[in-house]
A and B are shown apart, each in its own frame.
Chain A
Amino acid sequence: MKPTRRAMLEPYILLLPSILYLAIFFAWPMAQAFGLAFRDDAGRWTLQFFQRMVGDASFWPALSATALLVAVIIPLQFILALAMALLVMARLRGSGALVYIYALPIAVSDLAAGIVWFSVFTERGYLNTILQGLGLLERPFIFLQYGSTWALIAVILAEVWRATSIVFVILLAGLQGIPNEYFEAAEVFGAGWFQRLRRVTLPMLRPSIQVALILRTILAFQVFAVVVALTGDGVKVLASEAYQWYNQWRNLNVAAAYAALILLISLLSTGLYLRALRSRSEAAGA
């Protein structure tokens, strides 16, 4: 009797530390953040902080800039990462080294990446110096000015450089998991390279694509350090607004409202991806 009982409890005991960890460091703070977002000082439930957030002059610019960045960065990264992964899979000479080169930016912190790209794009930065050295520019061009498309392009470039590698790694792992027989069979039936990509590679890669897209989209809605390091107060995004409300304007409630909004958007987009990229067996209810 006794050993069976112990055996029954064992998995839960083993799980306990991680559950405690999650509860103390994730669940509890998250509940507190929601409390801050939805309850006033007297503890009454309220939507006033959301009204304050939406009514704020920076809200719509931040929301639209974030949406724009997600809409541009994610497809770009996906196409680039797929091309990079396919290139590595083509097993050309030196493709082993390519993996390391492509994966390198994963190791760079996003703030460091932002600062590096700032030194490229700033008035006295590398880009202006090179362009002036080549005689293409007479005086420095100011990329990072307020409201300029160039500032957004700089953010997109920096983000694509920084975060494509994670998509690449996930897709490469997925590609390596596809048995070669499928490709051989397709070739036997006369499928060309493009047809094999469309009919074999992409469908087989669907689970990896799903993971990569969910991960990247959630992270893209949280984009922060790169934007702040590159543009200062020039481009506002949701996460930078949350930070500013917390850190500079010292209204913890509105900051929490921003955080809750980011969470909501992330959940919605995850749900969307899960639905849109259901594999056939899942769709059939298997």
Chain B
Amino acid sequence: MKRAAVIVSVAASLALMPACAPQTRVVEIEKTVVVEKVVEVAKEVPVTVAPPDFGKVTILSTQANPVEEQEKMRGVVLKDFPGQAEFVGIEEPALLDRVIAEAGAGKGSVDVLIALHGTYPTLQAADALMDLSDLAAELSERGIPQAFMTLGKLNTERQYYIPVMQATYIMAANKAALQYLPAGADIDNLTWEQVRDWGKNIADATGDRKLGFPASDRGLLHRFLQGYLYPSFTGGMVTGFKSGDAEAMWAFATDLWQYVNPQATTYAFMQEQLLSEEVWVAFDHTARLVEAFKQKPDTFVAFPAPKGPRGLGFMPVIVGVAIPKTAPNPEGAKQMIRYLLQDEVQINILREIAFFPVVGVSYPGFVTVGIRMEGEAVSKQAASADALPALLPVGLGAKGGEFNKVYRDTFTRIVLKGEPAATVLAEEGANLQKLLDETGAPCWPPDPPSDGVCKLQ
């Protein structure tokens, strides 16, 4: 009786679908009753200009997971998708388990994945991702930075994910500091040496050390070291950890620190010190600077991180969108990717969940000036000709914290305590290698790919 009722209701709902060919559908209900039904639908489709319907698209996302952000995704960002978007928030381990299991079974229920770059190598290794090279070619005129698209290839020839949104760390300065810029310096194209000279000029003129970095226990100084200094000076984050270039870099960092406010070891969110004017030039995560731009957009400027001898090292937090091989609705999934990369949708993402666009957008008036300023700096940074995107560690799992500790300790010992760089780098390098060996993590960008465990030079 019950079974018959289920079949009838399923048949009814399938008949209502505007499909135009005989199709086979497998519907799983409460994991006990499986109904297979061939539905014949009339082939004549009324020729009206109804918007195309791409059907039901199920999205699994490790991002925008807090309840209010999920609501914003459903209620605003995905609202105008031509189809039924179903947004499901999920933790990374659960996403990996589910998608890999579906790939193994050869049958899936998920159409679109939204996750950080670091999630995808595991899925690609399990051969669970669809090749999106054709879609990448189609989207090439959307202006996604080439460096990001390359990351989406996961060291292969094929495109496995398309970058969809980003966050990162940038620089901010009080306009009062601009008059002390070194001669000939362009604020959108600075070198780290010029930043040091800038700090020196300010110190000479005002007597105060007005550069700022978030060096307290709650600050993100380790990201500055991993994603900015190391790549800019050594070309990588890990392999050149104790190289000659690294020694030169630490000598520079010690030099730079003379012009950094000595209270920096209490700084966590640089927007506070920018607003109190303890600091005039600061580095931090966009979300930790944004209050300064929101409160006093006329006082501050945002600009890309400076470059070093090896290029503009920076740490993008890249969120990519991908399609599992077993997606039940691949056409709808591709349409979802096109949809997410539209200008209006990208702006909605920025407004609702504060991730920056990956495409070149012009910011409409309703986006507050502060966020627009940050967004422009983020775009310039990513689009720089010698951009060297340095990714959050991939494959370290729970050891990510200790990985950060190696960089923080190295900084404390060399720059704050003045211990000899060569000794410290040898000791901390050994700690770093031990972590890599324990986790078996291969190198990740910007370090060159490795066979097996990533090794320090």
Contact = CB atoms under 8 A, between A and B. Distances in A.
Interface stretch (B6-14, B32-40, B402-410): B402-410
Interface in A80-107: none
Contacts of B265: 144-146, 231-234
Contacts of B17: none
A244 B405 CA distance: 10
A137 to B, nearest CB: 12
Given A58-B409, A232-B268, A233-B216, A251 B402 contact: yes
Contacts of A233: 215-217, 219, 265-266, 412
Given A232-B267, A244-B217, A250-B400, A146 B276 contact: no
A232 B409 contact: no
B409 A144 contact: no
A228 interface: yes
B207 interface: yes
Contacts of B277: 124
Interface string B262-284: 11111110000000111000000
A250 B401 CA distance: 5
A248 B266 CA distance: 16
B405 A139 contact: no
Contacts of B278: 123-124
B261 interface: yes
B266 A234 contact: yes
Contact of A57 (B268, B404, B412): B412
B49 interface: no
Interface residues of A, number: 26
Residue of A56, A144, A250 contacting most chain B CB atoms (<10 Å): A250
Contact of A144 (B217, B266, B400, B412): B266
B276 to A, nearest CB: 5
A250 B261 CA distance: 29
Nearest to A124: B276
Contacts of A145: 262-263, 265
B113 to A, nearest CB: 26
Contacts of B417: 147
Contacts of A122: 263, 266
A145 B258 CA distance: 13
The secondary-structure label for the interface of chain A is loop
A182 interface: no
Interface string A120-150: 0011100000000000000100101111100
Contacts, number: 73
A251 B219 CA distance: 19
A66 interface: no
Contact of B266 (A232, A249, A250): A232
Contacts of B266: 118, 122, 144, 230-234
Contact of B208 (A139, A146, A250): A139
A145 B216 CA distance: 11
A196 to B, nearest CB: 47
B261 A142 contact: yes
Interface string B379-402: 000000000000000000011111
Given A124-B278, A139-B207, A232-B218, A248 B401 contact: yes
A77 interface: no
Contacts of B412: 57-58, 233
A231 B263 CA distance: 8
A250 B87 CA distance: 31
A147 B207 CA distance: 21
Interface in B205-254: 207-208, 215-219
B416 interface: yes
Nearest to A231: B266
B288 interface: no
A144 B264 CA distance: 9
Interface in B171-221: 207-208, 215-219
B257 to A, nearest CB: 10
Interface string A247-285: 011110000000000000000000000000000000000
Contacts of A251: 401-402
Contact of B401 (A144, A234, A249): A249
Contacts of A231: 265-266
Contacts of A230: 266
A255 to B, nearest CB: 11
A249 B402 contact: yes
Interface in B45-95: none
A107 to B, nearest CB: 26
Contacts of B261: 123, 142
B413 A232 contact: no
B269 to A, nearest CB: 12
B401 A232 contact: no
B311 to A, nearest CB: 29
A124 B210 CA distance: 13
B216 A57 contact: no
Contacts of A148: 262
A244 B264 CA distance: 18
A164 interface: no
Contacts of B409: 56-58
A240 B405 contact: no
Nearest to B216: A232
Q: Which 10 A-B pairs have the closest CB atoms?
A: A232-B216, A250-B401, A145-B262, A232-B266, A249-B401, A234-B265, A249-B405, A146-B265, A233-B265, A233-B217
Interface of A: 56-58, 118, 122-124, 139, 142, 144-148, 228, 230-234, 240, 244, 248-251
Interface of B: 207-208, 215-219, 261-268, 276-278, 398-402, 404-405, 409, 412-413, 416-417
Given A56-B409, A144-B265, A234-B266, 14 more contacts: A139-B208, A145-B265, A146-B265, A146-B416, A148-B262, A228-B217, A233-B217, A233-B265, A240-B217, A249-B402, A249-B404, A250-B399, A251-B401, A251-B402
14 contacts: A57-B409, A57-B413, A123-B261, A146-B416, A232-B216, A233-B219, A233-B265, A234-B216, A248-B217, A248-B401, A249-B401, A250-B398, A250-B400, A251-B401
